[in-house]
Structure 1
């Protein structure tokens, strides 16, 4: 039906109604939904590789989730030296493949609190982005399915908050002893650790099960759930693979119509020109979208001048306000069998992979390491939330940090691989509501001079040179002190009776974390990215002078260009952005169809 191209010269038509830049999380949804109208002709351009390339099993096999980092399916970005991380430059993974990061992430599908969406509605001035208004798009996007072993999980989630969409999500096939203890501890402790039946319900706090984008024993991604089925069933959608969009071009000198797209395979190859009759839709992500806009002369003058690009449109917020969330791991030896001993014997892994290859069942058909999670807040009267600053979370039911519970030893980058004996568990702690990067928090009443601003800035006029990526991690007292709190609060969680006799001893490095200074040193030494960048083309009200896109996601000051990806989110997600971007894309597609179907 539709076609997949690897050579732009083979395209049968150089004029499409819509040109979607990026076949990732949002791009697949946008393209598939637009193609539902047979009168629309849609082209999707993906800079990365096909997700059927050799070695692409790393994308589809749930057990291998996350292992595409550092492979040919990764953009191989790095941050600038981070003062808050002892000057370290850290890898900054993004999916370089059809499906984008929805094909390379760790599979977590958690929408976050309703307050996240309500804040988006308030900031944009469009109540269509509120939690209540988005319900129909949530339901048409995702559906819960049973795990590979058909375990009856009806008591572990709320079917009323799930829908009947193409994206499949599931729960753990075989809950472990650790999983059961985490849920039991929640019931014993209550309070901030209370059990939450379904963390996709809009109730953003408590302890519960992790929903993952897995169905039928394989990853369910933007590619598998949306783009590929559309291409296979419709004639009006094409996919062009392994072409970079090098810039957007105005229709003519002085024009503000940027619906012409220049693309190429590499820095020295022929430039191809395509024009969208209706819209160019940027879905290149929080790094790629601001890079393309800046390369097109749309952005801050100082950044463009340094790269040798003439400014065509003064858009100061393009590439500014980058936010991401740091993650760190803590480890304990336990008096129970975990996956630590399982992984020490290569034969176990080999047998699991053989079973998966034969039937898409068994250990490798689901998420192996983590099944439970806790979304937590600082106490209401915590000194960390200073009286002169507003709480950075979206509301009183939104988290400041989270724990994910891992059934093995998970080393931090730079740590030793792990002990060669004993059984271990780990807690991954993530700062959910950072103030570093600035994002929208200056507008919420926080003093801008207390925040180091995050940014994505091109370094040359070439689309094939990586931009400078600066998330400004741990550059505020709030962020650092909250990360210190993540370790201190583990003792409170492990005080539940269910842990008695289970926890044996902490990792030797954890043993030394007895003061705030020691915890700070550990946090700065080992924190890395959880891979959730946002806010580099953030949304704002239609008449506001700040922001990059309006409430309809159209780029301000120009015509013919819309942005649908994580770059438009004005604040870090208190859930997981994968889920939020799927929902954002569903409504964006509806807005586009409504505009152009009349």
Structure 2
């Protein structure tokens, strides 16, 4: 008897069919770069792609982008929205692993980060949320700069993305508000292949109201309720930082993009009597023992290396806790103890329900012929199941007032429009975690997440070797609130799946560990046993008026010539998927940089 492939193993096998081909104009050797540029951008990911585009708009400004991973162009795996779930663990992922997590019963889990042009926007699950108005106003308070409040930020949201029709071209005006969208290069759409459960989810929300009320567009600023997922998909293909911002400007003569290259450290170019360090030179290497090459940024180095890479490079360069760095033999350049601290992420749990329907996509993952037909339709028409990420509908909720989760603590959400938890509805058995897809049966998965976690972890280097992975400790379920909020999310999933429409059509019943978790205590045990992460890390180079790592203009404190522009600057974790926020801060950062250097 043959062994049935699981959700991920089956897809991973298919990915081998589509090898990477470098087709675009990029540099592959450190010997091809010049010794000096106006700007050196460390990281060609979500933020780095935006900065490369905006700063090179003026042909008199020279820009170098240094990307540790490879080119995205020619890799069809990155283009197919549905296959985003299979990209972690491949050659476009850094393949990080966390420390053992006490809140996860001592389990270490994979920690996916994009290792390719476009960064994590090239491998994520595409959700596009600009965040509630509250989160931006909270950032303004923390940074002491009203330039970060929603009224000021809105123009950058509008500049970064635009709403496009779903792949099937149907009229979706009752499920999205075009007034809440802009005119930028990132393409955003609602699902282009409606699934059988979509109408049940949305109609149930309209009928139930209350905590489960329908929300016609989360990007209107209110993040409470249930509605269609909006994703970075245009014409059935992924829209990433690379495809929208970077690839279209490869031909600019003032822009160089160097791939497969690490920045090993930043070099202080300040000379006495200047007492302020100037970290505006980068050291490059393409292998641990390979030659080093130095490049000067006459204006700025911009760290856009991500939530893991940015604190790692800062620490390797002597920026961080001086005592920790001294123990590793790294001279202190700037004593900033919060470098690598404040790591926050959203824990995720798969709740499975067996359903009385053969309309789910479970057999697509069990049957190679069906999978091939589905893939063929995408290749020929950019239509069908693969034009979407697996989850078409989503809900965000506050825990009820008086919940034991909030006992004795201040509400961790950013305000009245900001949730504590999230549910994503998936029309099949989605393997997030260790439970494999059953060989038979049909399922609906409800993914539950805590989006206002109070747990905080860290990213710390363990040696002076720039090719050694840092120690990543997200500290999942490190607080009582996070555990109890996840229990509430589990209860919400069970309650919502008991709605009349579900029972009339799909008749879902809890499956596996969920079925045996009858009490809140048992559900907490279930969460600790099976939860993973949703790969939304932020905060390791925190922006703050007091303390922190960067100021309100994203300049690293205590040094000259260095700025950070990526999700590491988030002062608190947003109660949504963070991709859109990174585009927004990068757009604003580009204007801040141009203003300082008087670039038109």
Is TM more than 0.5 here? yes
Paired residues for 1:116-515 under 5 Å: 116-232=135-251, 234-252=252-270, 256-336=277-357, 337-367=359-389, 369-387=390-408, 389-415=409-435, 417-437=436-456, 454-501=457-504, 502-515=506-519
1:3, 1:238 within 8 Å by CA — same for their partners in 2? no
SS of residue paired to 1:384: helix
1:328, 1:428 within 8 Å by CA — same for their partners in 2? yes
Deviations 1:384-443 (A, max 9, x none): 2124x211111122110100000001234221x222222210100011000110xxxxxx
1:332, 1:503 within 8 Å by CA — same for their partners in 2? no
SS of residue paired to 1:434: coil
1:147, 1:366 within 8 Å by CA — same for their partners in 2? no
2:46 aligned to which of 21, 25, 29: 25
Pair 1:523 & 2:542 matched = no
SS of residue paired to 2:579: helix
Deviation at 1:306, TM superposition (A): 3.1
SS of residue paired to 1:200: helix
Aligned residue in 2 for 1:446: none
1:9 aligned to which of 28, 31, 49: 31
Cα separation, 1, equivalents of 2:152 and 2:215:
23
Cα separation, 1, equivalents of 2:494 and 2:93:
37
Aligned residue in 2 for 1:587: 588
Cα separation, 2, equivalents of 1:274 and 1:425:
52
2:276, 2:558 within 8 Å by CA — same for their partners in 1? no
Cα separation, 2, equivalents of 1:528 and 1:162:
32
Cα separation, 2, equivalents of 1:169 and 1:530:
20
2:193, 2:388 within 8 Å by CA — same for their partners in 1? no
Paired residues for 1:48-127 under 5 Å: 48-52=69-73, 56-127=75-146
Call closer, same or farther: CA 1:590–1:478 in 2, change over 3 Å: same
2:193, 2:384 within 8 Å by CA — same for their partners in 1? no
Cα separation, 1, equivalents of 2:57 and 2:76:
30
Q: TM-score normalized by structure 1?
A: 0.93
1:114, 1:204 within 8 Å by CA — same for their partners in 2? no
Please say which of residues 355-364 and 98-107 is displaced more in the overlay. Answer: 355-364
Cα separation, 1, equivalents of 2:109 and 2:519:
26
Cα separation, 2, equivalents of 1:365 and 1:508:
30
2:461, 2:469 within 8 Å by CA — same for their partners in 1? yes
Cα separation, 1, equivalents of 2:363 and 2:374:
15
SS of residue paired to 1:121: helix
Please say which of residues 352-361 and 115-124 is displaced more in the overlay. Answer: 352-361
Aligned residue in 2 for 1:445: none
How many residues of Structure 1 are paired with residues of Structure 2 in the alignment? 571
2:311, 2:459 within 8 Å by CA — same for their partners in 1? yes
Cα separation, 2, equivalents of 1:65 and 1:293:
30
Aligned residue in 2 for 1:451: none
1:327, 1:428 within 8 Å by CA — same for their partners in 2? yes
Gaps of 5+ in 2: 1-23
2:80, 2:387 within 8 Å by CA — same for their partners in 1? yes
Deviation at 1:472, TM superposition (A): 0.7
Call closer, same or farther: CA 1:360–1:492 in 2, change over 3 Å: closer
Deviation at 1:333, TM superposition (A): 1.2
Cα separation, 2, equivalents of 1:526 and 1:175:
29
2:64, 2:258 within 8 Å by CA — same for their partners in 1? yes
Cα separation, 1, equivalents of 2:209 and 2:26:
52
Cα separation, 2, equivalents of 1:226 and 1:559:
28
2:225, 2:395 within 8 Å by CA — same for their partners in 1? yes
Deviations 1:307-332 (A, max 9, x none): 22111211111001111111000011
Deviations 1:58-109 (A, max 9, x none): 1111121131110111101001111111111111010011110000001111
Deviation at 1:362, TM superposition (A): 2.8
Deviation at 1:559, TM superposition (A): 0.5
Cα separation, 2, equivalents of 1:213 and 1:249:
37
Cα separation, 2, equivalents of 1:540 and 1:36:
30
Deviation at 1:489, TM superposition (A): 1.8
2:311, 2:340 within 8 Å by CA — same for their partners in 1? yes
Alpha-carbon RMSD across the aligned residues, in angstroms, is 1.4
SS of residue paired to 2:404: coil
1:303, 1:457 within 8 Å by CA — same for their partners in 2? no
Deviations 1:129-186 (A, max 9, x none): 1111111111111011112221222221000011111110111113222110000111
Q: TM-score normalized by structure 2?
A: 0.93
Cα separation, 2, equivalents of 1:515 and 1:395:
30
2:550, 2:569 within 8 Å by CA — same for their partners in 1? yes
Cα separation, 1, equivalents of 2:490 and 2:510:
12
Gaps of 5+ in 1: 438-453
2:502, 2:508 within 8 Å by CA — same for their partners in 1? no
1:19, 1:42 within 8 Å by CA — same for their partners in 2? yes
Deviation at 1:255, TM superposition (A): 5.1
